């Protein structure tokens, strides 16, 4: 990106050449009055000088940085420790609640097993943005008990995380969302004042909480550019929801679509079609030549060099007739040592027998 900015700034130094060149973007920038072209070049130079000051981060990193910058208004804990998994905390809360409810005598048969309780708790905690249902279940029913249990576990896990001063990826999002939802903190106004332009790439992989943060912070007051393709939404297993993309599309006041695919060309697509349409026996080196593993040639103990040569149709020893009689392998140092050791032992036994015979004759 920096290189593109540099080449554009240098190209606008000669507007006539830029308009006549093959660079469509540069020609578009140069197609204006001289004063406007000079202003555009000045903005490009300023962008290059301030390039390293731009905030480039993932959504989670952005939320963490904003929480740290908001201070007490962001409800962040600088001394808290980030953890990737809180399965141990969830299992601990489930055990405590399950024993408390069903551990006493005379409580009857539990509404669900401990394994079911753990699975229910994990779904409720790991997808914290989901609404727990059914909220209007009949009191005393299995659905009512499960709903109360999931609600209690979710609240208790959140409490213990704060007590132990740990946080997860989801906490980065929810804590910033809570700060933005409170007008008294003024978090949204501070974010709008800090950023004049916000670009979000791969927006189709955002979840409702992330879209809520972007909408509360920048929509309607800051230039917000959302870039995405709903056909590439692949992170539903991590909470991403293409519905958020569709909602943002409805809320946008301007839409633009790329009419040309810049990621590939006809030659690449034809090559890929050839690879994927080739039979399974296609060669590893070329998608058009059949390939099969070397076969064992007659007279060879194993498909070695000569067998492979025969299988390829290359004249070799295996292709000329039966393989010659294999030569006797020369023993290695260990085998020679073992043989020498055997001869020494036999000689020692013979000497002992001779000495014993000599003693008897005396």
Please check whether residue 211 lies inside any domain of the structure: yes
Domain holding 120, by residue range, is: 81-164
Asked if residue 129 lies in contact with residue 207, where contact means CB atoms within 8 angstroms, the answer is yes
Per the prediction, the chain carries an average pLDDT of 81
Pairing of strands 81-82, 223-226: unpaired
Mean pLDDT of 283-300: 42
> Are both 93 and 136 inside the same structural domain?
yes
Number of domains in the chain: 4
The answer to whether residues 86 and 112 belong to one domain is: yes
Which residue, 164, 181, 201, sits at the end of a domain? 164
Reply yes or no on whether the pLDDT at 348 is more than 70. no
**Alpha carbon distances (Å) from 35 to 10, 19, 40, 246:** 16, 15, 9, 40
Is the same domain home to 142 and 202? no
* Mean pLDDT, residues 357-362 taken together: 49
Last residue of a domain, one of 164, 194, 217: 164
- Three-state SS string over the chain comes to CHHHHHHHHHHCCCHHHHHHCCCHHHHHHHCCCHHHHHHHHHHHHHHHHCHHHCCCCCHHHHHHHHHHHHHHHHCCCCCCEECCCCHHHHHHHHHHHHHHHHCCCCCCCCCCCHHHHHHHHHHHHHCCCCCCCCCCCCCCCHHHHHHHHHHHHHHHHHHHHHHHCEECHHHHHHHHHHHHHCHHHCHHHHHHHHCCEEEECCHHHCCHHHHHHHHHHHCCCCEEEECCCHHHCCCHHHCCCHHHHHHHHHHCCCCCCCCCCCCCCHHHHHHHHHHHHCCCCECCCCCCCECCCCCCCCCCCCCCHHHHHHHCCCCCCHHHCCCCCCCCCCCCHHHHHHHHHHHHHHHHHHHHHHHHHHHHHC
Residues 137, 179 within the same domain: no
User: Average pLDDT in the 137-151 region?
Assistant: 94
The pLDDT of residue 357 is 55
* Cβ neighbours of 273 (radius 10 Å): 11
Domain boundary pick from 164, 188, 222: 164
Q: What is the pLDDT of residue 128?
A: 86
User: Quick check: is 292 in a domain?
Assistant: yes
pTM: 0.65
pLDDT of residue 300: 38
What are the Cα distances from residue 200, in Å, to 110, 227, 338?
48, 6, 74
Together in a domain, 149 and 202: no
Position 280 scores a pLDDT of 53
Kindly state whether residue 362 falls inside one of the protein's structural domains. no
Higher pLDDT, 273 or 350: 273
pLDDT of 291:
39
Please indicate whether residue 239 or residue 255 has the higher confidence score (pLDDT): 255
pLDDT at 15: 94
The residue with greater pLDDT, 348 or 103, is: 103
pLDDT recorded at residue 355: 62
- Look at residue 260 in the predicted model and tell me its pLDDT: 80
Q: Is residue 33 domain-resident?
A: yes
């Amino acid at each position: 990106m920096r290189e593109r900015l540099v080449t554009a700034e240098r190209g606008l130094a000669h507007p006539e050449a830029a308009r006549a060149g093959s660079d469509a973007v540069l020609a578009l920038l140069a197609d204006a009055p001289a004063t406007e072209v000079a202003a555009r070049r000045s903005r490009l130079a300023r962008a290059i000088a301030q390039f390293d000051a731009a905030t480039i981060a993932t959504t989670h990193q952005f939320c963490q940085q904003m929480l740290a910058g908001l201070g007490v208004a962001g409800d962040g804990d600088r001394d808290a420790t980030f953890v990737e998994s809180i399965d141990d905390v969830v299992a601990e809360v489930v055990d405590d609640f399950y024993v408390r409810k069903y551990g006493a005598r005379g409580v009857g048969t539990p509404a669900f097993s401990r394994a079911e309780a753990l699975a229910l708790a994990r779904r409720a905690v790991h997808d914290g943005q989901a609404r727990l249902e059914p909220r209007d279940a009949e009191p005393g029913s299995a659905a009512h008990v499960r709903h109360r249990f999931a609600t209690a576990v979710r609240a208790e896990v959140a409490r213990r995380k704060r007590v132990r001063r740990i946080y997860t990826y989801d906490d980065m999002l929810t804590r910033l969302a809570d700060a933005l939802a409170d007008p008294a903190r003024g978090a949204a106004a501070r974010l709008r004042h800090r950023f004049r332009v916000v670009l979000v790439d791969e927006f189709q992989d955002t979840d409702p909480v992330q879209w809520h943060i972007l909408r509360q912070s920048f929509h309607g007051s800051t230039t917000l550019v959302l870039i995405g393709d709903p056909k590439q939404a692949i992170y539903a297993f991590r909470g991403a929801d293409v519905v958020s993309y569709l909602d943002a599309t409805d809320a946008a006041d301007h839409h633009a679509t790329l009419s040309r695919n810049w990621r590939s060309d006809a030659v690449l697509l034809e090559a890929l079609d050839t690879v994927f349409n080739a039979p399974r026996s296609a060669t590893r080196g070329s998608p058009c030549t059949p390939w099969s593993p070397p076969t064992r040639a007659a007279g060879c103990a194993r498909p070695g060099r000569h067998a492979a040569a025969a299988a390829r149709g290359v004249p070799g020893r295996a292709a000329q007739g039966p393989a010659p009689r294999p030569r006797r392998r020369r023993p290695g140092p260990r085998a020679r040592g073992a043989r020498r050791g055997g001869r020494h032992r036999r000689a020692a036994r013979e000497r002992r027998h001779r000495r014993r015979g000599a003693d008897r004759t005396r």
